[in-house]
Amino acid sequence: MPLSPQLLRSRIGKICVAIIGNSASEMLEKASAVVKETPFLEFRLDYLEKPLLALPKLKNFFAENTAATGIATCRRKANGGRFTGTLAAEMEVLSKAADSGFHLVDLELESSEALKKGELQKLRDTGVALIISHHDFNATKDLDGIYKRIEPFQPDFMKVVPTAKTLTDNVTLMRFIERMNEHSNIIGISMGDMGIISRVLGLRAGSAFTFAAATPGEETGPGQIAARTLIETYRIDQVDAATKVYGVAGNPIKSSLSPIMMNTAFRRETVNAVYLALQAIKVSDLLKLVQEIPIQGLSITMPHKQEIMQHLERTDPLSAKIGACNTVLRAQDGKLYGFNTDVAGIVGPLERRMSLRGAKVLVLGAGGAARAAVFGLRDKGAEVFILNRTAETAQKLAKQSGSKTIKKDALPKTSFDAIINATPIGMAGIKGSPILDAKDLNTKLVFDLVYNPVETPLLRLARQQNIPVITGVEMFVHQGARQFEIWTGKPAPEEEMLRVVIHVLKQQAEAAAEGTPAPATKAAPEAKPAPEAKPAKARKAS
């Protein structure tokens, strides 16, 4: 029996979980797993070879799960879906889905425009609510023009889904939603890695709801987030006009664990804030986003730690000395101030294990993290040697900091108190041959600033030679805790931050070993952290 528009709106949640599968049984198994937690579901019927045959089973599902609200989607291949049938065949699937207990159907704008007069009315006569959707897989273009094309059909919901090619494309979409919100029920999402902002903040802008994957690896659109991550990590149900926005900006940023760590800290300390991963290719694009959202604070990572400096009102003396900043605070006057918490994250773990005055330390790399290591170590009285693939960059850093450069062939006959890897080599998703060989590890300690994976190739090599190691997790959590304190003025829940990072890294390692997608990130259960890592008071449619 069709629902009245008022009753339908009262039933739908903020998150609609997309259900995919190769068979009706597979879809129902997935739907049954999520329906109690998130009863608003989209069944992607275009993923089935013969969607009509699945409808009797889906009808039974709705009969048994009366609290569930279902969207039927059978998107044609030409419009980003998988259905290879004709427009008439698509309409037959959607009409019969309406008779099988579905409450809404999603029809592409292109299909709507191709229908003969009266055909759309036949679908509406079934009593089902109509979503008319448009997906642009290439860019964010004329959204107002799309609205004008959809408006004559007078659907119950308009779904406008462009692709974010820049961070500020999210702002374009959200401003569009805000403008049109009074006129109709808009669902707005930006696809792509840069579109995460719209998926978390779109509801705040006025999007009727958003879409999520049932589990990681089952995304129905580029950049889609798993439902559990949206709910537990981003606390999407609690994001409101007063929620402060923070983020980590870099390129690449996809594998960063800063969002799970910082959002856990905000939740633990009851701070009304959300922290996002910002795929920032250009600093100019990032700065525009900071002003438009506005963003209250940033973690700056590779490759922007040095370039960001010229855009800051002022920095702490340490950042100025290093020439690199990893923490930005947007003050009440709207101006940006910079800090460097990398130094504390590097020096702190080392000082708990050795005296740095007079210690001989090799630093690999000459970028932002390496600069923090070099200046931080020199400040503590260490003798620092720099090895970098581009010799000129190493020489420049050595001159600025009062350090020395060294060539790789000199390493086997040179001993060190510590070797620090400040390059991205060994990081998940970064390709590159190892910088050092076993014969080069003539040292008492190896510290790898890469934290994902925990066991990097360099650390594995060191362990094989019984050399003590410091993992990047310790540095990562320590510097993140300092950032949290700069932004909020509250003591950081460092133990909890450490716990969740270790928990997620273990999950990822297990998933990688099994060859399955990593599970959705969520808060770690109560568990004591490993002693070694313990810090000091440290093309598809949406």
Is the Cα dihedral 295, 300, 302, 308 positive or negative? positive
Contact 280, 249 (CB under 8 A): yes
- Residue among 440, 436, 389, 387 nearest 415 (CA): 440
Contact 405, 429 (CB under 8 A): no
Q: Which segments within 252-293 are labelled E, that is strand?
A: 273-279
Contact 214, 19 (CB under 8 A): yes
Domains of the chain (ranges; CATH) run 5-241 (3.20.20.70), 245-341+477-511 (3.40.50.10860), 343-475 (3.40.50.720)
The H-or-E segment that residue 445 falls in is none
Three-class DSSP category at 514: helix
Q: How far is CA 358 from the centre of its chain?
A: 42
Quick one: tokens of 328? Answer: 């930005």
349 cis-preceded (ω within 30 degrees of 0):
no
* Catalytic (active site) residue 305: yes
Quick one: tokens of 426? Answer: 């060994």
Active-site residue identified among 14, 159, 244, 305: 305
Per-residue model confidence as pLDDT tens digits over 148-165: 999 999 999 999 999 999
- Residue among 291, 299, 297, 328 nearest 313 (CA): 328
Looking at residue 233, the DSSP 8-state letter turns out to be I
Within 10 Å of residue 410's Cβ, how many Cβ atoms? 12
* Residue 22 buriedness (CB in 10 A; 0-12 / 13-18 / 19+): exposed
Q: What is the pLDDT of residue 537?
A: 37
Mean pLDDT, 10 residues at a time, the chain of 542 residues: 69 94 97 96 97 97 96 96 96 97 97 94 94 97 96 96 98 96 87 96 95 95 95 95 97 92 98 97 97 97 93 93 94 96 94 97 94 96 97 96 97 97 90 90 97 92 97 95 97 96 91 72 42 39 58
β-bridge pairing 469-470 and 446-448? parallel
Q: What is the pLDDT of residue 182?
A: 79
Dist. CA 72–CA 90, nearest whole Å: 11
With b meaning 16 or more CB within 10 Å and e meaning fewer, what string describes 106-133?
bbbbbbbeebeeeebeebbebebbbbbb
Dist. CA 80–CA 421, nearest whole Å: 43
Q: Which residues contact 10 (CB under 8 A, 6 or more apart)?
A: none
Contact 109, 135 (CB under 8 A): no
Looking at residue 152, the DSSP 8-state letter turns out to be G
Dist. CA 208–CA 185, nearest whole Å: 6
Q: What is the pLDDT of residue 340?
A: 95
Give 221's Cβ-side CA count (13 Å radius). Answer: 31
Looking at residue 343, the DSSP 8-state letter turns out to be H
Place of tokens 């190739």: 457
426 conformational bin, left if phi > 0, alpha if psi -120 to 50, beta if neither? left
Contact 538, 348 (CB under 8 A): yes
